[in-house]
Amino acid sequence: MSENDGSGTRQLKSVSRAFDIVEYLRTEGPATLSAVAEEFDMPMSTAHIHLVTLVENDYVIKRDERYECSFLFLRTGGQLRDQLPLYQAAKTEIDDLRAQSGEIANVGTEQNGYMVQLYKSEGPESIDDNAALGAHLYLHNTALGKAMLSQFSDDRVETILNLRGLPALTEESIVDREALFEELEETRERGYAVNRGEHFVGVSAVAAPILSNSGSVVGAISISGPLSRMGDDRIEETLAPAILNKKNIIELKLSQR
C-alpha cells in the first residue's frame, strides 16, 4: 500500500513504518513487541510482522523477548564512511591534530541539512559533547556546521534553515537568521568558525571548511574542548593556525586523488 507524504511524493507505507520502528529501537533501546505495538498504535499481529521481517533480514535482533538494532547498520555506515575520500584524506591529520592540541579533533560533512560526524580522535584528557559517530547535528550551532555554512551560497543557507530551522540547544545558540548570516560573514573573513557553548553547555570548538578543487564544500575539521581550555587567545594563536594548516594538507591530499 502506498500513500502520499503531503509533498506529492508517493511512499510505501509499510517501508516507511519499518524505518520508523528502526528509529524507535535506535533511540529507545531494546523494546518488547507490546511496547512497539503501543508506540505506533498498531495491532500486536501487525507489529510482529514488521519486527519478524526486520529480524529475518538481519537488521534487528531478538534477545530475551526484546528487539534491538543489529550491527548490520555499523557495517553499512562503516563502509560508507571508509570509502569517502574526505575521511581517507583527513583521518591521519585529525589524529595528529588531536596529538598536537590535547583536545578532541573531528571531521564532518553536510548531508540533508545536517552536520554528520564522520570521525573523532580523542585523548585521555579530552572532553566534548559526546556526540556519537554518525550523529546528525544542526549546522547553525556547531563549529563544523558553521564552517561549512560559511562557504554555501545565501540561497543554500536559506534552504537549509527553512528545512531544519534554528532550534536553540543552549542559551548561547543562534536563533536569529540575521545574526547567523553576520557570523557566517565573520567566519569567511577569518577563515574559521567558532562555537562557544552553542551546541553543548561548557564545550567550545573551532573549525575550518574543507574545499574541493572546484571550490565546493566537502566537509570541515575541528578541535573541541571545555570552554576553560578554549579561550580566544588560544584559539587565535594556536588552535586556529593548526586547523588551517591541516585544512591545507587535507585539501592537497584530496586534489591528488
pLDDT digits (tens, 9 = 90+) for 122-177: 877 767 667 778 889 999 999 999 999 999 999 999 999 999 999 999 999 999 99
The answer to whether 120 touches 104, Cβ cutoff 8 Å, is yes
> What is the predicted pLDDT for the residue at 129?
64
Here the cell at position 178 is 540575521
Q: Is the pLDDT of residue 240 over 60?
A: yes
User: CA torsion sign, 2 to 165 to 190 to 132?
Assistant: negative
Tens digit of pLDDT for each residue in 188-199? Answer: 999 999 999 999
Here the cell at position 142 is 556547531
40 pLDDT tier (thresholds 50, 70, 90):
very high
* Residue type (1 letter), 39: E
CA distances 91 to 96, 103, 122, 215, 245, Å, are 9, 15, 12, 21, 15
1 pLDDT tier (thresholds 50, 70, 90):
very low
What CATH fold (topology level) applies to the domain 2-70? Answer: Arc Repressor Mutant, subunit A (1.10.10)
Strand, helix or coil for residue 28: helix
The CATH superfamily holding the domain 77-255 is: GAF domain (3.30.450.40)
Q: Where are the domains of the chain?
A: 2-70, 77-255
Residue with cell 562555537: 195
CA distance 23 to 61: 14
2 pLDDT tier (thresholds 50, 70, 90):
very low
Q: Which residues of 134-152 are buried (b: 16+ CB within 10 A; e: fewer)?
A: ebebbbbbbbbbbbbbbbb
**pTM for the predicted model, two decimal places:** 0.84
Q: What percent of the chain has pLDDT over 90?
A: 82
